[in-house]
Structure 1
Amino acid sequence: MRNKIILSTILLFIILFSSLTTSAVSQEQEFDIFNFLKLGGDFLMNSKIAEMSLEEKVGQLFQIGFSGPQVDSKIKDMIENYHIGGVIYFSRNIENPAQTAELSNQLQELAVNSGAKLPLFISADQEGGTVTRLKGATHFPGNMALGAANNKEFAYLAGEAVGDELKNLGINVNLAPDLDVNNNPDNPVIGVRSFGEDPKLVAELGTSYIKGLQSKGVIATAKHFPGHGDTAVDSHLDLPVIRHSRSRLEEVELYPFKKAIEAGVDSIMTAHIYFPTIEKEKGIPATLSKAVLTDLLREELNFKGLIITDCMEMNAIVNTFGTVEGAVKTIEAGSDTVLVSHSYQKQKKAINAVIKAVKNGRISEERINQSLKRILSLKGKRISLAELKEADENKINFAAHQKIAREIAENAVTVVKNEGVLPLKNIESKKISVIDFEMGRVSLAEDDDKKRNLFFKYLQEELNKVENITLQEGQTITVNNNKIIDSDLVIVCTYNAAVNRDQARIAEKLAAKYDVLVLALRNPYDYKYLNQTQAFITTYDYSPASQKAAVDLIKGEISARGKLPISIK
């Protein structure tokens, strides 16, 4: 009887895999192979792996980026002939929700009808705040705004809403949340992408976000392990080094990742940072370190999920081992998915280098199978064939999500300094001048030309006497400028005065004659460079909801509820 059951299972397994034909995405009824694999356990998983070629196996370990909003010959080649396991979307790939959903559907149709006939991981960095990719999606306040609001329910709701939008656009992996503990005010790449400087706060809000995101069937990715918060170097540009003791790393950097693992996070992204306390060989980034990825993350912290690299074309890798050799070394170290975001030629060379490394015995095929099994298991857990058919933006309740974003922003906006400026009484009769900076106008992920100064737009809609001056990089302003003369309040919108010091200098100069309120629309650490200005508020990012919350605060319609999750004084 037992043998008959096993035989029947094998036959069903064969039928299921042979049924993945051209009709897999178009038919109304189709077996959900990956759910079947999940239920079938190791026996069926191993059977699938055994039927795959080495090239198909290695290809599944790569996630790549491509140019443009449509399927082109290069991405088609990578799917059909290099058998890639996933793609990553950037703003270059996205025009609007309908186009994004259609692109996802087309890519998945290619994948399930090619090679090993496996669906793709489709990922994006949809962190919120200063890092968003999706045009037309809800632009949520970022992590530090959530840290300022300090409400784990908000974090869950944000993750849940983002997950809903991603899933319905055909994106099954969010490369978020950022679990770095930002305790270095000079950190050039993390900053407001972190929930704050308290490891417990980062852990609490991060795990809530993860649970919300994964409740919608989207893979959460905790990053950047073992921690990128205490660096003064951007790993996009060079190799940072963190020299803290192991006890300090345990208490700060590693703590949120431990909690994320306990909470069941699906995936963890590596950091291109050298940790000499953990990795004894000089200059080896965590991404290429067996001591970090296998000994620490896999064995000591008992992480069973997917390990994905940060992009292997960042200079911290390019300037040390190079993208191609780095791809081989990171798999040796324990990574499951290798992210190569840009160069078509490097993507092909990296895949071929790993295939060669297996053939010459440098990497065992069993090592490839270990990662492949984790990849297939996670695809089985989070992807179903039914979902591959109908990515559809019309299923998204954008209005409900925007309401959540507004509530978060209103609870995040923070008054850091107020010397008799707020609340601004009789505001309707006041003359207000708003100064912003062209140099600080960064992509807001949607309709950039319309959103370059939403704060002024929102203020102008409700008040009569509002002037706006936009300064170019290096341009200054006199205290007797016609637009600001006789102003009751001058609002200077800084974006990153820590880098663009002219923004702080202009605010300080004007404060000698006027009441000046600095609105930090990106970096709360701007406060460190201001002494004379009369008031300072921060929204932690320039999302539309955050800019509207700043207007409502200045008008006195909401109170300041946010509290700094970092030290800036």
Structure 2
Amino acid sequence: MRDPGTRSTSGPTRRSALTATAGITAALATGTTAHAASADTTLRALVARMTLAEKVGQLFVSRVFGHSATAPDPADIESNRRELGVSTAAELIERYHVGGVIYFTWAHNTRDPYRIAELSNGIQRASLARPRGLPVLISTDQEHGAVARIGRPATQLPGAMALGAGGSREDARTAARIAGAELRAMGIRQDYAPDADVNVNPANPVIGVRSFGADPEAVAGMVTAQVRGYQGAGVAATAKHFPGHGDTAVDSHYGFPVIEHTKPQWTELDAPPFRAAVRAGIDSVMTAHIMVPALDPSGDPATLSHPILTGVLRGELGYDGVVVTDSLAMEGVRTKYGDDRVAVLALKAGVDQLLNPPSIEVAWNAVLAAVRGGELAEERLDASVLRVLRLKRKLGLFGDPYASRGGVDRTVGTRAHLERAARIAERTTTLLVNERRLLPLSRRTHRDVLVVGADPASPSGTDGPPTAVLAGALTGLGFSATALSTGTAPAGETVDRAVAAAGGRDAVVVATYNVTAAGTQKTLVERLAATGVPVIAVAIRNPYDVAHLPGATACLAAYSWTDVELRAAARVIAGAAAPRGKLPVPVQRADDPARVLYPVGYGLTY
């Protein structure tokens, strides 16, 4: 089927055009355009020879189901047909000329490193086999900590707030370099990290531990370190979510947040990490589906705001790299306009990459029609295509887009990477309460330990739910530990069962997950403390839990429930490592949120 935007060339003219294009891409691949100015001229010539449909396609980054570009499982074929109108990634590329593909765990793209590399290679082969084939920019959300699409055997690293607690820019850079090297080995060249949001709102339901902390300058330093780590490993870093998602009480996946910061407040609180990212040469910036009236009073989300993206990001901050939307399937960008208008308005605002539209057919055809109808100038499209191609050239995709099994073996989940991740994690665990010097826990007096608490869904490739990982780690350190999952909202009978199980134990470890004043996790800790058995609370997500747990004898913040952070917490409990983390956010009193219980920089040690 002929593409709707294919120019009507035929015979020798068509063949000569394709031959010329092949020569251009060959020059990019072999590095004969060594100098930036010469390479840019070559890229502009490539853009000039592309059809309108090809240009439109280069701006889309789509999901696709399955672990194979040409032969996914039957269920994934059905999902592709239902959501994308095609059967495979190869068909997606053939029909829409997509310039990018994003991997998700739930789309079955990330089963194991070898299959990820094979999928990446299949996508590149499908695209490069086309008459005017271009490499695909493959991306994912591998922030680590609470957001990680790829689990073990890839190296799991501490997330942003844990690194903020560690306070070491060198550790942050090293973590990003390890993550970037492993992603590149699997054929993924763009990571939607680091998170540059400053988490100044403890009630933030979507950022929280994904942020490095509440201090803008400290966050800026961590963002700079991670940009250099990722991009030093040959992977495009992405600062998100511009202009700053740190002070919201609404999750933009499900609603439309409004940031009420004044322009001076934005300049002081939200802007510093993004300015730092731009200074560090960030390859891409992701937009936020939030309204910031002080920057644009129109009521449009930042993703669709020309004043914010072109005026502030490109103008005030001087950024000329790739701008990518957050997922266009999120509710925050769909509340005011239909899905067809969203894609067009994002490009008019200054976006270059349109990420994960709910219907690529609707969005792709809307952009095509907007250019043909004169609403979007083709020159505007060309500017974004050129930015995307520049990034692909910088990442080496024209010369070597493929992953290899040997590269996976040499890079992904190596012993050196795993050991470095474990040492970094140990430096992040934060001790907030230690009454009667309970910790480090003595194997002589507190050998028999019960581990209870929350077991949220864990990333793929873990050793099990958090309670089991903590119990296993403590057992490996010489304790006799058993696990009992009680969940994030334990019912009365579950609490009773945990209290009964605590009888006769030497200590109880409780994994807490976003405790609230009226929640039953608080009840669980209170009931366990009433037994007289020492209670050690480990906050496995937000450190704010400690404000609601006055009955605990000791409290630690682990900042996530991945194996590497849970094992680090266990080592701190057992005294195999000293607690070195310091709070990167303040913790307010539960009974008076206007007062600070523990300030930024607080943390005990022994």
TM-score by length of 1: 0.91
Match among 549, 558, 561 for residue 542 of structure 1: 561
Name 1:399's counterpart in structure 2.
Answer: 415
If asked which structure has higher relative contact order (CA below 8 Å, sep 6+), I would say: 1
For the 8 Å contact 2:456–2:465, the answer to whether it is kept is no
- Once residues 96 and 58 of structure 1 are traced to their aligned partners in structure 2, the CA distance between those partners, rounded to angstroms, is 32
Q: Which amino acid aligns with 1:65?
A: R
Q: 1:400 to 1:518 in 2, by over 3 A?
A: same
Which moves more between the two structures, 47-56 or 420-429? 420-429
CA distance in 1 between partners of 2:35 and 2:516 (Å):
51
Which SS does the other structure have where 2:290 is aligned? Answer: coil
Please state how far the C-alpha of 1:522 moved relative to its aligned partner: 1.5
Give the counterpart of 1:88 among 81, 102, 107. 102
Q: After the TM superposition, which of the residue ranges 85-94 and 492-501 deviates more from structure 2? A: 492-501
The Cα shift of 1:68 comes to 1.9
- Quick check: 353-362 or 514-523, which moved more? 514-523
Give ranges in structure 1 of 5+ residues lacking alignment.
1-12
Return the alpha-carbon distance in structure 2 between the equivalents of residues 385 and 216 of structure 1. Answer: 17
1:358 equivalent to 2:371? Answer yes
Task: Rate the CA distance shift 1:425–1:158 in 2: closer, same or farther, 3 A.
Answer: closer
Is contact 1:33-1:380 (8 Å) kept?
A: no
Contact 2:55 2:381 in 1 (8 A): yes
Contact 2:499/2:528 (8 A) holds in 1: no
Unaligned 5+ segments in structure 2 are 1-16, 73-86, 588-596, 598-606
Does structure 1 residue 340 correspond to structure 2 residue 353? no
Q: What is the CA–CA distance in structure 2 between the aligned matches of 1:412 and 1:163, rounded to whole Å?
A: 21
Amino acid of the residue matched to residue 89 of structure 2? I
Alignment of 1:141-540 (within 5 A): 141-282=158-299, 284-340=300-356, 343=358, 346-392=359-405, 393-396=408-411, 398-424=414-440, 426-437=442-453, 440-447=455-462, 449=464, 453-472=468-487, 473-475=489-491, 476-478=494-496, 481-498=499-516, 501-513=519-531, 514-540=533-559
Question: Structure 2: how far apart are the matches of 1:34 and 1:519?
Answer: 56
Matched, 1:75 2:89: yes
Deviation at 1:482, TM superposition (A): 4.1
1:37-66: CA deviations, max 9, x gaps? Answer: 846244322211111000000110110111
Code of the residue aligned with 1:493 in structure 2: it is A
Displacement of 1:508 in angstroms is 1.8
Q: In the alignment, is the contact (CA less than 8 A) between 1:160 and 1:213 conserved in 2?
A: yes
User: Aligned pair 1:52/2:70, yes or no?
Assistant: no
Q: Deviation of residue 223 (structure 1)? A: 0.2
Instruction: Output the CA distance in 1 between the equivalents of 2:477 and 2:306.
Output: 58
Tell me the TM-score normalized by structure 2: 0.86
The CA distance in 2 between the partners of 1:169 and 1:34, in whole Å, is 27
Amino acid at match of 1:550: A
Residues in 1 aligned to 2:102 and 2:133: alpha-carbon distance in whole angstroms: 19
Q: CA deviation at 1:403?
A: 1.4
Measure how far apart 1:80 and its partner are: 1.2
Partner of 1:18: 22
Find the aligned partners of 2:99 and 2:32 in 1 and give their Cα distance.
Answer: 14
Shift of 1:300: 1.4
Report the CA distance shift for 1:464/1:153 in structure 2 as closer, same or farther (over 3 A).
Answer: closer
Give, in whole Å, the separation in 1 of the partners of 2:479 and 2:439.
18
Q: Is the Cα contact below 8 Å between 2:452 and 2:467 reproduced in 1?
A: no
Change (3 A) 1:30 1:134: same
- State the distance in 2 between where 1:425 and 1:297 align: 50
Mapped partners of 1:391, 1:515: distance in 2: 51
Q: Which amino acid aligns with 2:586?
A: S
Evaluate the alpha carbon distance shift between residue 560 and residue 474 of structure 1 in structure 2; reply closer, same or farther with a 3 A threshold: closer
State which drifts further: 128-137 or 449-458: 449-458
CA distance in 2 between partners of 1:54 and 1:177 (Å): 33
SS class of match (2:254): coil
For residue 523 of structure 2, give the secondary structure of its aligned residue in structure 1.
helix
Pair 1:263–1:424, CA change in 2 (3 A): closer
8 Å CA contact 2:490–2:521 kept in 1: the answer is: no
Task: Report which stretch shifted further, 532-541 or 220-229.
Answer: 532-541
Q: For 1:281 and 1:387, how far apart are their aligned partners in 2?
A: 44
Report the CA distance shift for 1:538/1:58 in structure 2 as closer, same or farther (over 3 A). Answer: same
In 1, are the aligned partners of 2:150 and 2:459 still within 8 Å (CA)? Answer: no
CA offset at residue 350 of structure 1?
A: 0.3
Q: Secondary structure at the match of 1:222?
A: strand
Match of 2:8 in 1: none
* In structure 2, C-alpha distance between the alignment counterparts of 1:422 and 1:199, rounded to whole Å: 35
Residues 325/103 of structure 1: CA separation in 2 closer, same or farther (3 Å cut) = same
CA shift, 1:537, in A, is 0.3
Shift of residue 547, structure 1, vs aligned partner: 1.2
Give the count of matched residue pairs: 547
1:241 to 1:227, Cα distance in 2 relative to 1, 3 A = same
* One-letter code aligned to 1:18: A
Question: How far apart, CA to CA, are the structure 1 residues paired with 2:429 and 2:238?
Answer: 27
Between stretches 518-527 and 475-484, larger displacement belongs to 475-484
RMSD of aligned alpha carbons: 2.4
Counterpart-to-counterpart distance in 2, 1:452 and 1:105: 38
Cα deviation per residue 1:472-514 (whole Å; 9 max; x = unaligned)? 5533323884421122211111122249922122112211222
Q: Which moved more, 1:418-427 or 1:36-45?
A: 36-45
Q: Percent identity?
A: 37
**Alpha-carbon offset, residue 20 of structure 1:** 8.8
Q: Deviations over 1:326-385 (max 9, x none)?
A: 1111001000000016x4xx1111011000000011111011011011111111111234
- Cα deviation 1:197-228 (Å, max 9, x = unaligned): 00011000111011011011100000000000
- 1:38, 1:377 within 8 Å by CA — same for their partners in 2? no
Contact 1:435 / 1:471 at 8 angstroms: preserved in 2? no
Shift of 1:77: 2.2
Cα distance, 1:531 vs structure 2: 1.9
TM-superposed CA distance for 1:464, in Å, is: 4.6
Change (3 A) 1:179 1:480: closer
Q: Are 1:467 and 1:484, in contact at CA under 8 Å, matched by a contact in 2?
A: no
Q: 1:429 Cα deviation (Å)?
A: 4.4
